Amino acid sequence: MRISSSGKASQSYTEQFTRDIMYTMLNITPSSIQYAHKSVLEATSPRLHKDLSHQFAIYEKDVVTKNISTYFALHNIQFITEDNLKVQTEGELLTYVGKDLVSKEIKKYELKFRLNGTKLYLSGFGEVINEEEDAE
């Protein structure tokens, strides 16, 4: 894993970081949500901490009070930009309320990163909505 002098992260570095982020953000249980919150903040650009912390607090309350658990099985990582700082992932997201499976979906997410010296930071994360599905 390396960072080039031109500010390009190696694919292996970005891929490992992406797997860690996806696992931490989307494999959630009521007992792991606080750890996930802390870990994701550590891997995120400091300028996003306030907004992300607020969103996590809302999500955490929901996860704990409704006993929600999610599990994500990563199937694919696609590099979008040549500098390897923007990727799209695809995988299966399972959602449980208590012990009951309530949702099983194939989901796509886009992650954006930025380099600060030799450290990669998450600077954007969102679900990719399939435009064909929206048209139906």
Q: Where are the beta strands (DSSP E) in 1-118?
A: 68-79, 86-97, 100-116
Structural tokens at position 55: 């969103």
Of 16-20, 106-110, 127-131, minimum mean pLDDT range: 127-131
Query: What are the pLDDT digits (tens) for 18-36?
Result: 999 999 999 999 999 999 9
Per-residue pLDDT at 43 exceeds 50: yes
Confidence of residue 44 (pLDDT cuts 50, 70, 90): very high
Domain ranges of the chain: 11-128
Q: How many helices (H) and strands (E) does the chain have?
A: 4, 4
What is the rounded average pLDDT of the residues 63-85?
Answer: 95
- Contacts (Cβ under 8 Å, ≥6 apart) of 68: 28, 30, 62, 95, 96, 97
**pTM of structure:** 0.86
Q: Which CATH code fits 11-128? A: 3.10.450.230
Give exposure, 83-107, as e/b (b: 16+ Cβ within 10 Å).
bbbbbebebebbbbeeeeeeeeeee
The answer to whether 74 and 89 have CB atoms below 8 angstroms apart is: yes
CA separation, residue 21 to residues 3, 13, 66 (Å) = 19, 12, 24
